[in-house]
Structure 1
Amino acid sequence: MAEPVPAPGEEGAAECAGRGWWGGGLRWSAEPVLLLCTLALGLEEPLCTQYLWHRLGEGGGAQNGTPPAAEAGAGCTNQSQGSGGAQEQELEALVARWNLYLNLSGFLVGLFAVTLLGPWSDSVGRRSALTLPALGMTLEAGIFLVVMYGQWPVGYLLVGRIVAGLSGDYNLVLAASFAYAADITTAPTRTFRVAVLEACLGLAGMAASLAGGPWLRAQGYVAPFWMVFGTSLAATAYAAFILHESVAQPQPAKLLTTRHYRAVARLYVGPARKKLVLFTLAFFFVVTVHFGTRGLLVLFELGSPLCWGPEMVGLGSAASYLTFLSSLAALRLLQKWMPEAWVAELGLLSNVSGLVVLSMAMTTTLMFTGYGLLFLSMTVTPILRAKLSRLVDETEQGALFSAVACVEGLCSLGATGVFTALYPATLPFMKGFPFLFGAILLLLPAAIIGWIQIQDSKPEYRHFTDVAEPSPGPTDSGSTVAENGSETSSTR
């Protein structure tokens, strides 16, 4: 099958993206940066939660980075498989609050950095927008190592989060990576390329989860955090010295100006504002539930009645990340048979059913059954990202994905605030209630996506969501987004 011809204005970006540094056919794309940064984050998040669990639970134990419970092999502080005493509940609430502090500190700083650096990359290029956050994550890991080596108070971890936030943090890595994908693809091929990027998240996260638990048990917290430092540094080096620029004609641009913030705001007052707002709202609910439930899984597994140790926590995290790969395969297959909107609806159904089972999981078998039911859950976000990307001009992809990154930051903040507050409040009567609450919330994006798809399929309702779709390339007329809002078979 012949390669799709780029739309007008895309030829330069597609050509330079495929050339590589040495003029050959190698494609030095953004996937390695995303893989390395996700690997670092996948190692860091559960390790940080478990470090807080043991450090706060043992009154500053964890000497030399070794978890006090490493020899016992259980997550429960009372070593009782199912008593779940008041002391354990108090510790769970304390760790949840510290997770809130860490997320909040990074979000408040990163919110301004992402909306500044994302639109800036539309002019200067994506390499800078990928190098800066990777460097910030490297410095954050270095600060975490200093805290662990020196047994400093856990409050110093906030310094690392603020440093990462100033550079845009992981959200800017996501924004720049997806904008990079939009630069080098045409509208019809964008959904699958975005899904490939999301699969990279799952692949790196699964590798981190499988390695993190056994490594923690064998060598404590310090050695895995050196891996976090090393992978972040490698991502920085790749973005700075190897990654080829995807913006066709980078131009110098002033960084500290309100023009970048106005570029983001203009997206939501343009002709595509109705669909942008609705799809962004759906994206908000989906990602909020993902962040909120994923952030509680380690705590849920460490406590009774599961009482998982580091290895089981790693296996559980790997199972959750495996949904990225299964969703990629399912998306590729289902796109041949139905519009993307209905694929997203199937993904939401998978997510709801999995969360309902997780909310009632009292055994390891039931816990992994819930993970299995989530096998389509990650088809939703790449579809929403691609639909949002098609609604704006090719020169506004950085601004769009920085806005999406801000929404993800708000999701992280909202999820941390709501779910971490809900978790200790509902422990006395239903430990898994936050998962059930997340399943209920997912009914809202299901309604939004279904409503848009139904209205777009009826010509008499087109005025509710009518927007200008991206113009096809010279030879793409058979593979563009259909006028009624659903894709033709050739786009999939």
Structure 2
Amino acid sequence: MSHPSPMSRRQVVPMAEPGAGAGAEPEPGAEAGAPPPMAELQGRCRLTVEPVLFLAMLALALQAPLTTQYIFSTLSAERGFGGNRSHGCNWTAGPEAAREQEIEVLTAHWNLYINLGGFAVGLFSVTLLGPWSDRVGRRPILILPAIGLALQAAVYIIVMYQKLSVGYFLIGRLLSGLLGDFNTILAGCFSYIADVSDKQSRTLRVAVLEACLGIAGMLGSIIGGQWSKAQGYINPFWLVLALNLATVAYALVFVRESVSVNGSGKLFTTEHYRSVYHLYSSGKETGRRLRIWLYALSLFVVVTVHFGVKDILVIFELSSPLCWESDLIGYGSAVEHLTYLSSLLGLKVMQPCIEDSWIAQIGLVSNMAGLVVFSLAWATPLMFTGYALRFLAMCTTPVIRAKMSKLAETTEQGAMFASVACVESACSLVSTAVFNSLYPATIYFMKGFAFLFGAAMLLIPIATIGIVRCSETEAPYHRFEDTPRVVPVSLNSDATSNQTEEI
């Protein structure tokens, strides 16, 4: 064998495909119950976890606005406020105006208490379940949260039938949070897509999942609005229960596992928390740590504004000067969810000619424009104008999720999306606390101030995404690039030698 020349020379060894590992035994998929090879999943799995996310989101879109309306209606009845819309509802002064504002404040506070309880518990469960799925597979973290959501719907039905205090809704939220809540289903679905997609298609596949959220949200909003207006609040919750049970059944029967299952994976161990911590503490030499932190900050602000606005939109629309009823609230929520589809279309059109970071920035500007109009809306046409201006608002989150996924190893996808779910759970906590406190505090001098506050917050991700874009231009990160990996190996044990062979 010839010796290397004094000059450095390069021998290139291509990176292994995702899911492949050194020393892997041949044909692991031949065993009963074992997942198929990753190449097979990547090649022919067009429809995978999309129905899971669709069914879960359809149930959530039915449940969330109806829960707020039920709380508002129950508290109004307890305090003798009818909100007599047949004689108009634009209360500007007098006892009716004061009573309506009192109901709005109480509804916002009950939303705060119920959501805080569920999100606080879910913050810890999702951190366990996400990294756990890297060892035991993705299917368990699709099934367990769906069971929790079904239990929550059952508790809500009991509360409504028995006409119990709205405080009992907290029991259902805690049960759902213990089993992971909706954020864990999100983490599981996005992790699954990261398992079965390559770098080039990942942003679009993530956007397709987000579009499933939009379609389901649109249908759920329209169905819930019309149904509750015709038959009240209880019957739609039976559909919520059925949809969550259908999610469990689909994940059990039709979802094929995307990772090699290690039956020895323990759930209750601090190793899962350490794996998430490792993502945010390693990779200093490549800039990975800084980029993950900045993307996480951007996602935190964007999702906080998104959740916070959703929390107060229904209350804003129920009260004067809009005084919307259930059907109109359903249409408004449907248009809101239509942004998932319009954003997917915009992403697909813009991707060939615009870099992803710029697409995210365009989405943020669209979001800000809509929120500013919301803050000034005094009539229904102006409110729908705000919805229309936000038609690209959901371009931002799939870009951020995809970029964070590309910064993680193939064996870290569960931990990465668990950390994303933790960020979103933290967003739920912060948004509920901030917006459900800010809205009643500012209702007396500017009813739409909370929307202006949300628009101002979006300046933060505009700045952070710009910073990351500049750093990527200077030093691109190649973990998921198609170029071969280069590893320097010393050819001389002499400490003074600078000769290296790159493999």
The answer to whether residue 123 in structure 2 is matched with residue 107 in structure 1 is no
> How many Å apart are 1:270 and its aligned residue?
1.1
Structure 2: how far apart are the matches of 1:52 and 1:360?
26
Determine helix, strand or coil for the equivalent of 2:378. Answer: coil
Relative to 1, partners in 2 of residues 1:133 and 1:81: Cα closer, same or farther, differing over 3 Å? Answer: same
Q: 2:422 matched to which residue of 1?
A: 406
Q: 1:244 matched to which residue of 2?
A: 256
Q: 1:472 matched to which residue of 2?
A: 482
Pairing 1:63-74 to 2, within 5 Å after superposition: none
> How many Å apart are 1:17 and its aligned residue?
3.4
The answer to whether residue 303 in structure 2 is matched with residue 284 in structure 1 is no
> How many Å apart are 1:111 and its aligned residue?
1.0
Which piece of structure 1 moves more, 343-352 or 242-251? 242-251
Relative to 1, partners in 2 of residues 1:374 and 1:256: Cα closer, same or farther, differing over 3 Å? Answer: same
Structure 2: how far apart are the matches of 1:143 and 1:79?
35
Letter in 2 for 1:314: G
Q: Is the 8 A contact 1:359 1:434 kept in 2?
A: yes
The answer to whether residue 166 in structure 2 is matched with residue 142 in structure 1 is no
Structure 2: how far apart are the matches of 1:210 and 1:250?
43
> How many Å apart are 1:38 and its aligned residue?
0.4
CA offsets 1:124-175 (integer angstroms, 9 cap, x no match): 1000010000011001100111111111111111110010001000010000
Structure 2: how far apart are the matches of 1:403 and 1:330?
27
Q: 1:374 matched to which residue of 2?
A: 390
Q: 1:490 matched to which residue of 2?
A: none
Structure 1: how far apart are the matches of 2:69 and 2:290?
43
Structure 2: how far apart are the matches of 1:384 and 1:285?
12
Determine helix, strand or coil for the equivalent of 1:470. Answer: coil
Q: 2:193 matched to which residue of 1?
A: 181
Q: Is the 8 A contact 1:119 1:402 kept in 2?
A: yes
Q: 2:369 matched to which residue of 1?
A: 353
Structure 1: how far apart are the matches of 2:103 and 2:470?
48
Q: Is the 8 A contact 2:305 2:457 kept in 1?
A: yes
Pairing 1:115-130 to 2, within 5 Å after superposition: 115-130=127-142
TM-score by length of 1: 0.87
Q: Is the 8 A contact 2:53 2:212 kept in 1?
A: yes
> How many Å apart are 1:188 and its aligned residue?
1.6
Pairing 1:66-465 to 2, within 5 Å after superposition: 79-83=88-92, 85-271=97-283, 272-457=288-473, 459=474, 462=475
Structure 2: how far apart are the matches of 1:335 and 1:212?
35
CA offsets 1:211-247 (integer angstroms, 9 cap, x no match): 1111001111111000100000000111122211111
Query: Which consecutive unaligned segments of at least 5 residues does structure 1 have?
Result: 20-24, 63-67, 475-492
Relative to 1, partners in 2 of residues 1:6 and 1:433: Cα closer, same or farther, differing over 3 Å? Answer: farther
The answer to whether residue 63 in structure 2 is matched with residue 17 in structure 1 is no
Q: 2:66 matched to which residue of 1?
A: 47
Relative to 1, partners in 2 of residues 1:329 and 1:6: Cα closer, same or farther, differing over 3 Å? Answer: farther
Relative to 1, partners in 2 of residues 1:154 and 1:273: Cα closer, same or farther, differing over 3 Å? Answer: same
Determine helix, strand or coil for the equivalent of 1:276. Answer: helix
Q: Is the 8 A contact 1:118 1:176 kept in 2?
A: yes
Query: Which consecutive unaligned segments of at least 5 residues does structure 2 have?
Result: 1-13, 21-35, 485-503
Q: Is the 8 A contact 1:280 1:404 kept in 2?
A: yes
Q: Is the 8 A contact 1:83 1:305 kept in 2?
A: no
> How many Å apart are 1:469 and its aligned residue?
2.4
> How many Å apart are 1:393 and its aligned residue?
0.3
Determine helix, strand or coil for the equivalent of 2:191. Answer: helix
Letter in 2 for 1:442: L
Q: 1:488 matched to which residue of 2?
A: none
Structure 2: how far apart are the matches of 1:358 and 1:60?
29
Structure 2: how far apart are the matches of 1:261 and 1:455?
28
Q: Report % sequence identity.
A: 50
> How many Å apart are 1:256 and its aligned residue?
1.2
> How many Å apart are 1:385 and its aligned residue?
0.2
Relative to 1, partners in 2 of residues 1:235 and 1:60: Cα closer, same or farther, differing over 3 Å? Answer: farther
The answer to whether residue 49 in structure 2 is matched with residue 30 in structure 1 is yes
Q: 2:77 matched to which residue of 1?
A: 58
Structure 2: how far apart are the matches of 1:422 and 1:28?
42
Q: Is the 8 A contact 2:19 2:259 kept in 1?
A: no
Quote the RMSD (CA, aligned, Å): 2.2
> How many Å apart are 1:363 and its aligned residue?
0.6
Relative to 1, partners in 2 of residues 1:185 and 1:60: Cα closer, same or farther, differing over 3 Å? Answer: farther
Q: Is the 8 A contact 1:16 1:246 kept in 2?
A: no
Structure 1: how far apart are the matches of 2:350 and 2:278?
34
Determine helix, strand or coil for the equivalent of 2:78. Answer: coil
> How many Å apart are 1:248 and its aligned residue?
4.0
Structure 2: how far apart are the matches of 1:17 and 1:157?
41
TM-score by length of 2: 0.86
Q: Is the 8 A contact 1:82 1:306 kept in 2?
A: no
Structure 2: how far apart are the matches of 1:193 and 1:105?
33
> How many Å apart are 1:81 and its aligned residue?
2.9
Relative to 1, partners in 2 of residues 1:390 and 1:58: Cα closer, same or farther, differing over 3 Å? Answer: same
Letter in 2 for 1:416: T
Larger Rg: 2
Q: Is the 8 A contact 2:120 2:429 kept in 1?
A: no
Letter in 1 for 2:479: E
Determine helix, strand or coil for the equivalent of 1:140. Answer: helix
Structure 2: how far apart are the matches of 1:385 and 1:471?
17
Letter in 2 for 1:300: F
Report how many residues are paired: 450
> How many Å apart are 1:456 and its aligned residue?
2.8
Structure 1: how far apart are the matches of 2:46 and 2:362?
33
Q: Is the 8 A contact 2:18 2:38 kept in 1?
A: no
Q: Is the 8 A contact 2:42 2:197 kept in 1?
A: no
Structure 1: how far apart are the matches of 2:68 and 2:384?
21
CA offsets 1:435-482 (integer angstroms, 9 cap, x no match): 11111000010011112213332x3xx3xxx645224288xxxxxxxx
